[in-house]
Amino acid sequence: MSEYSFFEDVLGYIDKSASYTTHPQGLIDQIKQCNSIFKMYFPIRLDNGEYKVIEAYRAQHSHHKTPVKGGIRYSRHVNEDEVKALAALMTFKCALLDVPFGGAKGGIKIRRAEYSKNEIEKITRRYAFELIKKDFIGPAVDVPAPDYGTGAQEMAWIADTYSAFHSDTINASACVTGKPLTMFGIHGRTEATGRGVFFGLREAVSYEDDMTKLGLTVGLEGKKVIVQGLGNVGFHSAKFLQEGGATIIGIAEYDGGIYDPEGLDIEEVAQHRRDTGSILNFKNSQKIETGTDLLEYECDILVPAALENQITEENAPRIKAKIIGEAANGPVSKNAEEILLKNGVMIIPDIYLNAGGVTVSYFEWLKNLSRMSFGKLEKRYDYLNNERLANAIESASGQKLSNSQRDAIIKGASEEDLVNSGLEEAMVNAYKEMRETAKKHNLFDMRTAAFILAINKISVSYLEQGIFP
């Protein structure tokens, strides 16, 4: 078996989807290329006084729209092939969701747990500095965000470093998204990817004919779900799915898994991990020695929310889930997908399902450019208008509204309400488009449908620019 290349898998998806379109081969070749790759090495001084050379990357896959956009991951598995593949997925994700960015991704090859907070800050700031030096970051150029192993704190350090070098740039804070709320972040960004996964899966299980084919009932209620990875995306996906009526029966982590057919309360599992350092030994749950074994358990929806290449041709034949919801990027390899599709497993692809993160990043970027919170202008106006409406209802009906009814009518939308509404709209619409494309081409394979749509949208940008007249 040849060595696995994540990037080759993504190119394979593009080729397969392109065969359903009539775009010239030159255009498809351009769409496939990873336009710029910046590989860097820089030293940092560790807390113990020793020096360590750090390997890092930023790949900009497509400049058909700028800025380019995508997270930065901290993981010991980071390599050029991975970063190129992830950058490419960002291109298609943004196109599919009508988020007007090209795709990019960064990575720092470190095992995070080996470094102190102080060392992580040094690494992050130095990485940001290297990006600045080569013009690989900026509100109009390339806008990073959190990914595996990073969060709001790293984004704050990056924004601060960038601002220090660009004190005359009015939009400096828009150089990165996923920042803390107190540092030009946006409500709802942390939960956004998981919330998007929930909206996407809720939409997927809402079509009676699709569910009948899978032997499932309509709706999330009672659906048995197994989640791999209880990081930010896995936790929030599981939480919103549970709130939406699904039962989380298994959670897999790197140190093992927990299983309870009666359901695991996700908030309680997270609390247990905060208390003990691990999800293992959670009350009443069965301990699974090897976390990945859980992927093969009977369930309705399997949500891999960790890293790529988790479902391979090796374990794919044993997967019993009816639906795989790709919350992670690239969790199912291309060879595995062929087996799963043959076995009738519906795959909701990453470029759609985890696009909630970048969608809300787009809102954050817009907020930074406008220098104002969403809803600030209209909130009071809406409130007063709604109050008049509530009064009119009362006088017309001759009945007093209850306090909760009145509150529900008059309260104007908060920034978080608006962000969540924009996210829901984006996820629901994209699913409908994807499903229609699948139907048009008589495809069960939703990934190909998603790529066809994305390729068509990217081609329009190239054609508009006159690059491929």
Residue 278 to residue 286: CA distance in whole angstroms? 14
Q: Let me know if 32 is a catalytic residue.
A: no
As measured in angstroms, the least distance from the Cβ of 353 to ligand GLU is 10
Residue whose CB is less far from ligand GLU, 69 or 179: 69
Q: How far is the CB of 348 from ligand GLU (least distance, A)?
A: 15
Question: What ranges make up the beta strands (E) of 153-304?
Answer: 224-228, 247-253, 256-259, 286-288, 301-304
Q: Is 71 in the site for ligand GLU (CB under 6 A)?
A: yes
Does 194 bind ligand GLU (CB under 6 A)? Our answer is: no
Name the one range near ligand GLU by CB under 6 A: 66-74, 165-173, 275-283, 319-327: 66-74
Distance CA 112, CA 115 (A): 6
- Please state, in angstroms and rounded to a whole number, the distance separating the CA atoms of residues 295 and 309: 13
Residue list 119-148, contact with ligand GLU (CB under 6 A): 145, 147
Instruction: Tell me the longest C-alpha to C-alpha distance in the chain.
Output: 78
* d(C-alpha 144, C-alpha 139), whole Å: 10
> Does 59 help bind ligand GLU (rule: CB under 6 A)?
no
User: Which of 62, 309, 329, 448 touches ligand GLU (CB under 6 A)?
Assistant: 329
Scanning 64-72, 153-161, 289-297, 420-428 for contacts with ligand GLU by CB under 6 A, the matching segment is 64-72
Q: How near is the Cβ of 75 to ligand GLU at its closest, in Å?
A: 12
| Shortest Å distance, C-beta 384 to ligand GLU | 36
Q: What is the smallest separation between the CB atom of 339 and ligand GLU, expressed in angstroms?
A: 25
C-beta nearest to ligand GLU: residue? 71
Residue type present at position 382 = D
Looking at 69-77, 284-292, 339-347, 422-430, which segment touches ligand GLU (CB under 6 A)?
69-77
Nearer to ligand GLU, 226 or 327 (CB): 327
CB of 177 or CB of 242, closer to ligand GLU? 177
Is 60 one of the binding residues for ligand GLU (CB under 6 A)? no
Per annotation, catalytic residue among 65, 84, 105, 179: 105
- State how far Cα 261 lies from the chain centre: 28
* Nearer to ligand GLU (CB atom), residue 27 or residue 89: 89
- What phi and psi, each to the nearest 5 degrees, are found at residue 86? -65, -35
Whether the Cβ atoms of residue 450 and residue 92 lie closer than 8 Å to each other: yes
Number of residues that bind ligand GLU (CB under 6 A): 12
- Quote the CA–CA distance of 185 and 177 in Å, as a whole number: 7
Q: What are phi and psi of 221, to 5 degrees?
A: -50, 120
Sheet bearing 323-325, strands edge to edge: 286-288, 256-259, 247-253, 224-228, 301-304, 323-325, 346-348
At 21 the three-state DSSP class reads coil
In the complex, least distance from residue 124 CB atom to ligand GLU, rounded to whole angstroms: 15
Task: Mark 214-253 with x for binding to ligand GLU (rule: CB under 6 A) and - for no binding.
Answer: ----------------------------------------
Region 340-369 residues binding ligand GLU, contact defined as CB under 6 A: 354, 357-358, 361
The binding track of 151-180 with respect to ligand GLU, each residue x by CB under 6 A or -, is --------------------------x---
Token digits for 369?
């450019």
Whether the Cβ atoms of residue 7 and residue 34 lie closer than 8 Å to each other: yes
Q: Where are the beta strands (DSSP E) in 122-261?
A: 142-146, 224-228, 247-253, 256-259
Tokens representing 9? 């898998």
DSSP state of 48: T
Query: Does residue 41 contact residue 53 with C-beta atoms inside 8 Å?
Result: yes
* Element housing 324 (H / E): strand 323-325
Would you name the residues annotated as active-site residues? Answer: 105
Positions in the binding site for ligand GLU (CB under 6 A)? 69-71, 93, 145, 147, 177, 329, 354, 357-358, 361
